[in-house]
Structure 1
């Protein structure tokens, strides 16, 4: 229980993304949340995380956080004792995704952060949660807290990420793959392929969740993370 757990938020997310999990899992365990807002590349974000981290730790990242986690494995594979990849992909962006990110960057540069929130919200959550005003407000507050400048840095870092697919077979630590059953951004089919590539991986598809599984189904996600942390 003394193992340190480092959590990496997703794009335009803050530690609030993991608030339910931090509250539930912190007993007897050190939990740190990586700062992914100050740097404009995944290697730099991962290097900052490693400077602030203990020698060995468990690592979990959602969406962009997963991209950072895989970069941490490239830089210091021997320091990560277990890995959780939530609602993410090992693949680089498609040309369509790159164009979409450029459009969102242009909106942020023009000062239209509120329009970005309205644009991305429907794709972030399960259809049943799209009218959830409390959840939508939480997501909007996180994006406002991150701010336009950091958001643009994050998008640029994501766009430049390498193909991490060749990395997956080399992962030989207890690994958990989590995905919302209705994740429209990184769907379950991608999660299943990733799990098949990692020898010690287990897959958990979360019912009633989209891309933000930690907030949409906090108890279910917390339970699978707890089992992962306790796995020998």
Structure 2
């Protein structure tokens, strides 16, 4: 069963290099061809999916994975959602996201990433580490146009809460100990709303858990991929 990985905001395959090396996996790269809506991103992915696959969605990619389940559940054998959310736009969120975009337009994308990335990572991926340097380069390479398009997508996102009880496949909800953007309590609430979810927390990691602690992240994925498709059970 091929694992298809859906990256989050300003992310690409570099964040999942260890996961791609460990599994039969492909990353939907290219920043969703600049799409600026979750539905349009889902359409972009759907055209590139195998007939049936396992889906891993990170952050914004988790929302895309849920939209894909809403549209084409027959194509999906199982879903893992890492460091993500299901809530609609919260008060103050649009202003905070637009402030980052304005910073990037004034001072360049590197300044935007300098502000955006440090709160996203845990203590083992702080500025000065090789992991941070790789993540920083990845986000800078995305550029302002992609950031703006993906912000439009996130600010126009649907409330995905109604999708959760419909997930009849094996589901893994993956959080991280130091994720302040998608905190552990949020991941526990998502898992509790899904009949067959297994919940895992990645120690020492923040929002970029797959790059921050790849061995533990991949162990969680291996456990999830080993679950029988026709025998869901809460973990």
> TM-score normalised to the size of structure 2?
0.92
Partner of 1:185 in structure 2?
Answer: 181
CA distance in structure 2 between the partners assigned to 1:34 and 1:6 by the alignment? 10
Partner of 2:125 in structure 1?
Answer: 129
Pair 1:31-2:31 in alignment:
no
Report Cα offsets for 1:171-199 as digits up to 9, x if no partner: 11000000111100000000000000001
Please tell me whether the aligned partners of residues 37 and 151 of structure 1 are also in contact (alpha carbons under 8 angstroms).
Answer: no
Please tell me whether the aligned partners of residues 81 and 174 of structure 2 are also in contact (alpha carbons under 8 angstroms).
Answer: yes
Please tell me whether the aligned partners of residues 4 and 32 of structure 1 are also in contact (alpha carbons under 8 angstroms).
Answer: no
Superposition RMSD in Å: 1.4
- 2:15 aligned residue (1, 14, 17): 17
CA distance in structure 1 between the partners assigned to 2:125 and 2:40 by the alignment? 35
Please tell me whether the aligned partners of residues 7 and 27 of structure 2 are also in contact (alpha carbons under 8 angstroms).
Answer: no
CA distance in structure 2 between the partners assigned to 1:82 and 1:33 by the alignment? 17
Structure 2 SS opposite 1:95: coil
- 2:71 aligned residue (71, 75, 79): 75
CA distance in structure 1 between the partners assigned to 2:96 and 2:123 by the alignment? 21
Alpha carbons of structure 1 residues 118 and 81: separation in structure 2 relative to 1, 3 Å: same
Please tell me whether the aligned partners of residues 89 and 186 of structure 1 are also in contact (alpha carbons under 8 angstroms).
Answer: yes
Pair 1:226-2:222 in alignment:
yes
CA distance in structure 1 between the partners assigned to 2:220 and 2:162 by the alignment? 26
Gaps of 5+ in 2: 229-235
Q: How many residues align?
A: 227
CA distance in structure 1 between the partners assigned to 2:102 and 2:128 by the alignment? 28
> TM-score normalised to the size of structure 1?
0.93
Following TM superposition, by how much is the alpha carbon of 1:34 offset from its aligned partner in structure 2, in angstroms? 4.6
Following TM superposition, by how much is the alpha carbon of 1:84 offset from its aligned partner in structure 2, in angstroms? 0.3
Alpha carbons of structure 1 residues 147 and 21: separation in structure 2 relative to 1, 3 Å: same
Following TM superposition, by how much is the alpha carbon of 1:114 offset from its aligned partner in structure 2, in angstroms? 1.2
CA distance in structure 2 between the partners assigned to 1:71 and 1:107 by the alignment? 31
- 1:214 aligned residue (210, 214, 221): 210
CA distance in structure 1 between the partners assigned to 2:92 and 2:177 by the alignment? 23
User: Structure 1: which 4+ aligned runs deviate by more than 6 Å?
Assistant: none
